[in-house]
A and B are shown apart, each in its own frame.
Chain A
Amino acid sequence: MFTPLKRIISYGFKNFRRQPTLHIATVFILVISLSLFSSLLLFRSGIKYIVAEIQKKIDVSVYLKKEAPQELVEEIKKGLVGLEEVEEVEYISEDEALKEFKERHKDDPLILESLEVIGENPFYPSFNIKARSAGQYAAILTFLERDKFKDAVLKVDYTKKQPLIEKIFKITSSLNLGGLLLTIFLGLIAVLVTFNTVRIAIKDASEEIAIMKLVGASNWYVRGPFIVQGVICGVLASIITFLLFFLLSYFSAPKIVALTGGFNIFAWFGAHAFSLFLFQLGLGIGLSVLSGLIAIRKYLNV
């Protein structure tokens, strides 16, 4: 049982050694495909990070009247927490607002002095609201504009942020869609190029396949060494791609941090190294073996 398997594996390695140019060419095509897929993965992670960062910075502030009845304030808070669009609600009392303001400007005696001059606390209590996504602020706004809250709500600080929020929302959703389309399109090209390379390599061996069948080899005995060769190519290609990305992310990390406002590609690489390598290994072996199996089918039906 094990003898045929041993022979198949040994022939796979022998064939690989005996036709170095053909196999090196296949490995490099695979490296290109894998690099493409890996960069798309990285690109999408980068975009996700940027979008998340921007969304974190968006919030809506609702300033409450100082004389607002306590029950009404409680009702607003309860209502906000109950909204499914709302991720987080934070109540900031007028004292807290003052304290925070003083803290922020503690090195600026002029501002602190002018506060003294006013004499009373010029701040209003407020709600700081974060939505789950950039597109959901409209719903929150509708909630706050209800008539019964008129006695409590002084001002909703959203309108001035609205164009910015909508713009970001538009950009992020089109970036996501664009990234997806790009992934599909480039992925298709990578698969086709790989398939074609492997197909040419196997066409080169078509006469050999016919002879093997003629001598009496079973289909699996013919296929076996090609599968082994495919696995070798896939493994080599994924190792090369992994090292390539290791170096690339190491050297480009500082520039990309500056460009994206904090996305550390090397840290990302470090955190995902294992799964990235598995992804590349699986894709590399899968692509080359599957292409080989499809291409060889034509020549096996003797």
Chain B
Amino acid sequence: MISFENITKIYPPNIVALEDVSFEIKKGEFVLIVGRSGAGKTTLIKLLLREEEPTRGKIFFEGEDVFSIPRKKLPFYRQKIGVIFQDYKLLPTKNVYENVAYAMEVMGAGESEIKRDVPKVLELVGLEDKAYNFPAELSGGEKQRAAIARALIVRPEVLVADEPTGNLDPYHTKDIIDLLQKINNFGTTIILATHDRDIVNSLEKRVITLEKGRIIRDEEKGELLF
């Protein structure tokens, strides 16, 4: 489904973020990308979303060369990939319901469709009681669940999570990881970037380990060793 082919990214003047990275992710997989801060996890995600261009190499999404997609079609490509971030990136002036609905609106969904889908997805992430609260009134875990709801509402094929639990306590962390597993069980491919040892070791999923921009390990049921 997704394949990275010899991706190298060098930020000027000569900071090597990724070097000759190649791997493949199958549909419905749950993949962890691990490594210390600065190992290149975020760069990898940015390249997948085409927020950055690689210095060398190619990325294919369902057989299509990501970097030759015309600019006009880019939004349609990005719709296939849901993203959640460490800092949630919720719209502060909109309540939970509107935050989730906004993602549907920009895709041009109709009012009836929104009224049908948003409550469902809020129920899935367990936020049905907080629909009319603003982000400032939510706990960290609730904010991340709202962000997940927003990512899911457009039915992405892949959900990319960049350190989604970085700001959360262990209790809420487990909450979010359980939710991601649930989503994965529905068939959505999950790419989870993290450096949380407990998450990696408890999940027993495929782990791709990055160090200084290179893949040093790629193993099924991997562990975080350092």
Interface residues in chain A, defined as those with a beta carbon under 8 Å from any beta carbon in chain B: 3-4, 7, 14-15, 18-19, 205, 207-208, 211-212, 214-218, 221
Contacts and interface: CB of A to CB of B under 8 A. Distances in A.
B106 A215 contact: yes
Nearest to B88: A211
A253 to B, nearest CB: 45
B70 interface: no
Interface string B78-117: 1100010000011111000000001101111011000000
Contact of B75 (A3, A18, A218): A218
A121 to B, nearest CB: 88
Contacts of A208: 91-93
B78 A216 contact: yes
Lowest 9 CB-CB distances: which A-B pairs, in order?
A217-B106, A211-B89, A216-B106, A215-B103, A216-B75, A208-B91, A18-B93, A211-B91, A7-B105
Contacts of B89: 211, 214
Contacts of A221: 105-106
A15 B75 contact: no
A134 to B, nearest CB: 60
Contacts of A205: 93
A4 B106 CA distance: 8
Interface bin, chain B: 10 to 19
Chain A contact residues: helix, strand, loop or mixed: helix
A14 B92 CA distance: 13
B105 A4 contact: yes
Nearest to B89: A211
A15 B107 contact: no
Contacts of A207: 92
Given A18-B93, A211-B89, A216 B103 contact: yes
B58 interface: no
25 contacts: A3-B108, A3-B110, A4-B108, A15-B93, A18-B93, A19-B93, A207-B92, A208-B91, A208-B92, A208-B93, A211-B90, A211-B91, A212-B91, A212-B102, A212-B106, A214-B83, A214-B89, A215-B102, A215-B103, A216-B78, A216-B79, A216-B106, A217-B102, A217-B106, A218-B106
Contacts of A218: 75, 106
A132 B148 CA distance: 78
Contacts of B106: 212, 215-218, 221
B143 interface: no
Contacts of A18: 93
Interface of B: 75, 78-79, 83, 89-93, 102-103, 105-108, 110-111, 150, 154
A15 B89 CA distance: 18
Contacts of B83: 214
Contact of A215 (B92, B93, B150): B150
Best-surrounded residue of B89, B106, B107 (most CB of chain A within 10 A): B106
Contacts of A7: 105
B133 to A, nearest CB: 13
B147 to A, nearest CB: 10
Nearest to A7: B105
B63 to A, nearest CB: 22
Given A216-B79, A216-B107, 14 more contacts: A3-B110, A3-B111, A7-B105, A19-B93, A205-B93, A208-B91, A211-B90, A211-B91, A212-B102, A214-B83, A215-B103, A215-B150, A216-B75, A216-B106
Nearest to A302: B51
Contacts of B90: 211
B88 to A, nearest CB: 9
Nearest to A225: B93
B7 to A, nearest CB: 22
B65 to A, nearest CB: 21
Contacts of A19: 93
A207 B92 CA distance: 9
B105 to A, nearest CB: 6
Contacts of B105: 4, 7, 221
Contacts of B108: 3-4
A205 B91 CA distance: 10
Nearest to A6: B111
Nearest to B107: A216
A212 B102 CA distance: 8
A107 B35 CA distance: 111
A19 B150 CA distance: 23
Nearest to A221: B106
A208 B103 CA distance: 13
